[in-house]
């Protein structure tokens, strides 16, 4: 058994701890003003609570906070018309560091509270010593018969208490600013600080007789009392010179934590920096930061707006925030609300949803990649642009269950329109709907395109054969396709320029033997012809008869899905641009008249010549090379050498053809 030798209290020497509080507790000097104004707001709120409880009968109708700058004296003062303090209260709350009156006060007046009290820790006041060599308090308590008191302290642990000539209830805090903190005597600087930190505080704050803060904290109001214009105006106020947002969600919960806020979906710029937050974090209407990466999930970064929560611990380090349970739950709540709202919009106004998809899509996909819970919520409302015309099928596709979302409301900006196409008239579908529609033709197989322009031939070929193609062409889609494949392992995704689907090929043709001496089929002959003409051993010539006659192209360069992805992956790892692989497939469409003519041309030459190459054999060779280059163009641009060759050959061919005519 251990013997206890001694028990006792640990002592803290104020002389030692005081400089630490002054210097290290807050990193930014300027926040002293936020702290003093918050105390003044608290004092005014407290007085109105006391009045409501019937303990004060004086006038509380015009509360205000006045900031005065005196360059001659080098002082800044913050004067409020609040509750004031008696000498005893000053001794209790000011002289004792880290002792706040908030808890005591709230337990007494909780029934009369309409606004929360900001201060909690009993430390804020001391932040004034970061910038002041002397701090003075003049205060008169609201209590009847109270006498005004003056408190003064020069930043040591010594203070002085004396009488004051203050005649109105409330408190004035006067700071004598240190030599290198004189910037706080400049009205422009103070105005900017009030705008930043105190703009939404519920009491007018005056500087030189003029009210500087002005804006109503819209997020504190009931969503049902607000119009679209209110939300838009507020957005324009927060983010001047920006395009109007697409949509917004009003967060409003008291339990199990307090979160209010309005989150807006902006129109995303393609170069949006998803690592930078633009959401402003407030605590009881006091601005804290616009850098709230820890509080909101990473994928919500592109959103804008305001989050206000008194439940987010603010005076702690950022790494702690990330691990804080309440913060995590708040983050989850916000993500869930955003997903709920998207679902609600999808269900109630699919047209608007589709029209906003260009901007919303990246965000929703990014969220799905990053957050399993979010993904589960939005998987049924992830849509893709399709080549199918869904005009007739609209309406029955939007059946998604949505939980009713408490007090939150979801609004959209523009009015309804009839058809669920986007501004360019394109149709959209979910993966589920796509698979269901096409299950008889190609079960569990998805054809997609990543570039509408360069893959136009391939897309057309699919379309002409009635195959539906989805566009996965935003920058996030490369990752997203792989992600979808992992998620739905039974579904095969093939890009339109990978292997051609059986439905596009006529298997019957070409198998017939056309040369009994060699047992060669027509396909064999075409393969040989191209192999010789191109002389590229790494290009795999694949003759196939495409359905669709002349609408299908004479040749196509195909990149098998697996090869292409390996290529993309290694480019990503090595941080290099994707190079077009030397090994690829040249599909030659044996059903195309050009290819048939080409074969005849080359065969004619065999009969004509005994040795060496005849003019028509040469022509056939040039045409093979030209056909290959044209097919290659859909996959990649030419380099300088390739371009010269192509142009020269084109001219040579045209010359030869015109000679023949
Ligand atoms: N202008 C004021 N009017 C009346 N009382 C005040 C005023 N300023 C400060 N006080 C009293 O001093 C106490 C301590 O203030 P301080 O700013 O140090 O802490 P706080 O506001 O309670 O908490 P926090 O550290 O979160 O700001 C307050 O709780 C309040 O009782």
pLDDT tens, position by position, 71-127: 999 999 999 999 999 999 999 988 877 677 777 888 888 777 777 777 766 678 988
Centre of ligand 1 from the C-alpha of residue 287, in Å: 18
* CATH for 311: 3.30.230.80
47: exposed, middle or buried (C-beta count within 10 Å: 0-12, 13-18, 19+)? buried
Residue 415: predicted pLDDT: 33
85 assigned ligand-binding residue: yes
Residue 314: predicted pLDDT: 63
d(CA 376, CA 378): 6
Centre of ligand 1 from the C-alpha of residue 102, in Å: 8
Half-sphere exposure of 310 (CA within 13 A, CB side): 14
Residue 568 lies in a domain: no
Residues 27 and 164 in one domain: yes
Structure tokens given for 652: 């040579």
* CATH for 151: 3.30.565.10
Residues 305 and 412 in one domain: no
Q: 392 versus 571: which is more confidently predicted?
A: 571
List, chain by chain if needed, residues with CB within 6 Å of any ligand 1 atom.
35, 39-40, 43, 80, 82-83, 85, 93-94, 100-102, 119-126, 171
Give the residue, out of 39, 44, 205, with the most ligand 1 atoms within 8 A of its beta carbon, to mutate for a pocket test.
39
| pLDDT confidence tier of residue 405, bands split at 50, 70 and 90 | very low
Write the residue with the smallest CA distance to atom 19 of ligand 1.
Answer: 122
Residue 411: predicted pLDDT: 41
Residue 413: predicted pLDDT: 37
318 assigned ligand-binding residue: yes
Residue 211: predicted pLDDT: 95
Does position 408 have pLDDT exceeding 60, yes or no? no
d(CA 94, CA 43): 14
| pLDDT confidence tier of residue 275, bands split at 50, 70 and 90 | low
Percent of the chain with pLDDT over 90: 46
| pLDDT confidence tier of residue 607, bands split at 50, 70 and 90 | very low
Residues 95 and 240 in one domain: no
Q: What mean pLDDT is predicted for residues 312-323? A: 62
Residues 224 and 147 in one domain: no
Write the residue with the smallest CA distance to atom 24 of ligand 1.
Answer: 119
Please write the tens of the pLDDT for every residue from 545-602. Answer: 888 766 788 999 998 888 888 887 787 788 777 778 888 999 999 989 999 899 888 8
Write the residue with the smallest CA distance to atom 21 of ligand 1.
Answer: 119
Centre of ligand 1 from the C-alpha of residue 217, in Å: 23
Domain boundary among 211, 230, 250: 211
| pLDDT confidence tier of residue 630, bands split at 50, 70 and 90 | very high
Give the residue, out of 46, 101, 135, 137, with the most ligand 1 atoms within 8 A of its beta carbon, to mutate for a pocket test.
101
Structure tokens given for 188: 């422009």
Residues 409 and 546 in one domain: no
Give the residue, out of 32, 40, 42, with the most ligand 1 atoms within 8 A of its beta carbon, to mutate for a pocket test.
42
| pLDDT confidence tier of residue 611, bands split at 50, 70 and 90 | low
* Residues contacting residue 54 through CB under 8 Å, at least 6 positions apart: none
Residue 400: predicted pLDDT: 33
Centre of ligand 1 from the C-alpha of residue 308, in Å: 21
Q: What mean pLDDT is predicted for residues 432-437? A: 93
Is residue 256 reached through a cis peptide bond, with omega within 30 degrees of 0 on the bond before it? yes
Does position 641 have pLDDT exceeding 50, yes or no? yes
Are 343 and 400 within 8 A, CB to CB? yes
Write the residue with the smallest CA distance to atom 14 of ligand 1.
Answer: 122
Residues 94 and 161 in one domain: yes
Structure tokens given for 629: 């280059």
Does position 618 have pLDDT exceeding 60, yes or no? yes
Least confident segment among 188-202, 232-246, 593-607: 593-607
Does position 511 have pLDDT exceeding 90, yes or no? no
Q: Exposed e or buried b for every residue in 242-257, given b needs 16+ CB within 10 A?
A: eeebbbbbbbbbeeee
Residue 15: predicted pLDDT: 72
Centre of ligand 1 from the C-alpha of residue 119, in Å: 6
Please write the tens of the pLDDT for every residue from 435-447. Answer: 999 998 888 899 9
Residue 9 lies in a domain: no
Q: What mean pLDDT is predicted for residues 239-259? A: 89
d(CA 598, CA 652): 17
pTM of the predicted model as reported, rounded to 2 decimal places? 0.75
Pairing state of beta strands 65-70 and 75-80? antiparallel
Give the count of domains, the chain.
4
Domain boundary among 161, 187, 211: 211
144 assigned ligand-binding residue: no
Residue 163: predicted pLDDT: 94
Are 285 and 329 within 8 A, CB to CB? no
ipTM score assigned to the predicted complex? 0.98
294 assigned ligand-binding residue: no
Residue 580: predicted pLDDT: 83
| 227: helix, strand or coil | coil
* CATH for 467: 3.40.50
80 assigned ligand-binding residue: yes
| Radius of gyration, CA atoms only, the chain | 37
- Residue whose C-alpha is closest to residue 249's, from 124, 162, 333, 154: 333
Q: What mean pLDDT is predicted for residues 302-314? A: 85
Residue 498 lies in a domain: no
Does position 270 have pLDDT exceeding 60, yes or no? no
| 211: helix, strand or coil | strand
Residues 621 and 511 in one domain: yes
Please write the tens of the pLDDT for every residue from 478-506. Answer: 889 889 988 898 999 999 988 887 778 87
Residues 471 and 522 in one domain: no
Centre of ligand 1 from the C-alpha of residue 594, in Å: 88
Residues 447 and 422 in one domain: yes
Does position 517 have pLDDT exceeding 80, yes or no? no
Residue found by looking up tokens 């106020």 in the block: 237
Centre of ligand 1 from the C-alpha of residue 98, in Å: 10
* CATH for 655: 1.20.120.790
180 assigned ligand-binding residue: no
Q: What mean pLDDT is predicted for residues 456-463? A: 89
Residues 348 and 426 in one domain: no
Q: Exposed e or buried b for every residue in 434-445, given b needs 16+ CB within 10 A?
A: bbebbeeebeee
Residue 362 lies in a domain: no
Centre of ligand 1 from the C-alpha of residue 126, in Å: 9
* Domain assignment of residue 140, given as a range: 15-211
| 481: helix, strand or coil | helix
Does position 269 have pLDDT exceeding 80, yes or no? no
Residues 395 and 480 in one domain: yes
Residue 401: predicted pLDDT: 32
Residues 342 and 468 in one domain: no
Write the residue with the smallest CA distance to atom 7 of ligand 1.
Answer: 39
d(CA 331, CA 337): 10
Residue 159 lies in a domain: yes
Domain boundary among 155, 184, 211: 211
């Amino acid at each position: 058994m251990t013997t206890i030798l001694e028990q006792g209290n640990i002592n803290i020497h104020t002389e030692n701890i005081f400089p630490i509080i002054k210097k290290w507790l807050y990193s930014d000097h300027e926040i002293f003003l936020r702290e003093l104004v918050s105390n003044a707001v608290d004092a005014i709120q407290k007085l109105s609570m006391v009045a409501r409880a019937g303990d004060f009968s004086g006038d509380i109708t015009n509360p205000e906070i006045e900031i005065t700058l005196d360059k001659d004296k080098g002082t800044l003062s913050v004067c409020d018309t609040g509750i004031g303090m008696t000498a005893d209260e000053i001794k209790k709350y000011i002289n004792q560091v880290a002792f706040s009156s908030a808890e005591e006060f709230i337990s007494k007046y909780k029934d009369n509270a309409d606004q929360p009290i900001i201060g909690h820790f009993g430390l804020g006041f001391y932040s004034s010593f970061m910038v002041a060599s002397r701090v003075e308090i003049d205060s008169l308590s609201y209590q009847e018969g109270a006498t005004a008191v003056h408190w003064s302290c020069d930043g040591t642990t010594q203070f002085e208490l004396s009488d004051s000539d203050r005649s109105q209830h409330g408190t004035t805090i006067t700071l004598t600013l240190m030599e290198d903190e004189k910037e706080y005597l400049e009205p422009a600087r103070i105005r900017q600080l009030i705008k930043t930190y105190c703009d939404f505080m519920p009491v007018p704050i005056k500087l030189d007789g003029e009210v500087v803060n002005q804006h109503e904290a819209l997020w504190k109001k009931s969503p049902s009392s607000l119009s679209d214009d209110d939300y838009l105006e507020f957005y324009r106020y927060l983010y001047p010179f920006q395009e109007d947002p697409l949509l917004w969600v009003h967060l409003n919960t008291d339990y199990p934590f307090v979160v209010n806020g309005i989150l807006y979906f902006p129109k995303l710029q393609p170069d949006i920096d998803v690592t930078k937050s633009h959401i402003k974090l407030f605590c009881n209407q006091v601005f804290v930061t616009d850098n709230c990466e820890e509080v909101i999930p990473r994928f919500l970064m592109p959103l804008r707006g305001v989050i206000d929560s008194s439940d987010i611990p603010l005076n702690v380090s950022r790494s702690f925030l990330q691990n804080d349970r309440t913060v995590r739950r708040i983050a989850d709540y916000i993500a869930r609300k955003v997903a709920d709202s998207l679902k609600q919009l999808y269900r109630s106004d699919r047209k608007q949803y589709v029209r906003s998809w260009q901007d919303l899509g990246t965000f929703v996909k990014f969220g799905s990649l990053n957050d399993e819970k979010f993904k589960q919520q939005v998987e049924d409302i992830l849509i893709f642009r399709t080549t199918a015309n869904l005009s007739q099928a609209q309406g029955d596709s939007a059946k998604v269950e949505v939980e009713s979302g408490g007090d939150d409301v979801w609004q959209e900006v523009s009015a309804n329109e009839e058809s669920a196409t986007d501004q360019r008239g394109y149709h959209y579908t979910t993966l589920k709907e796509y698979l269901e529609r096409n299950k008889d033709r190609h079960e569990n197989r998805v054809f997609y395109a990543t570039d509408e322009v360069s893959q136009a031939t391939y897309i057309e070929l699919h379309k002409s054969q009635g195959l539906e193609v989805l566009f996965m062409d935003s920058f996030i889609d490369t990752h997203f396709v792989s992600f979808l494949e992992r998620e739905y392992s039974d579904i095969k995704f093939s890009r339109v320029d990978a292997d051609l689907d059986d439905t596009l090929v006529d298997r019957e043709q070409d198998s017939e033997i056309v040369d009994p001496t060699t047992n060669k089929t027509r396909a064999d002959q075409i393969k040989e012809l191209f192999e010789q003409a191109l002389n590229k051993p790494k290009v795999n010539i694949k003759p196939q008869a495409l359905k669709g006659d002349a609408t299908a192209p004479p040749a196509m360069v195909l990149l098998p899905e697996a090869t292409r992805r390996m290529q993309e992956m290694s480019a990503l790892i090595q941080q290099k641009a994707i190079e077009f692989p030397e090994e690829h497939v040249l599909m030659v469409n044996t059903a195309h008249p050009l290819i048939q003519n080409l074969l005849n041309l080359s065969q004619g030459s065999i009969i004509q010549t005994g040795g060496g190459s005849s003019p028509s054999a040469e022509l056939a060779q040039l045409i093979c090379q030209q056909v290959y280059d044209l097919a290659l163009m859909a996959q990649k641009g030419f380099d300088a050498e390739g371009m010269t060759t192509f142009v020269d050959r084109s001219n040579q061919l045209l010359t030869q053809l015109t000679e023949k005519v």
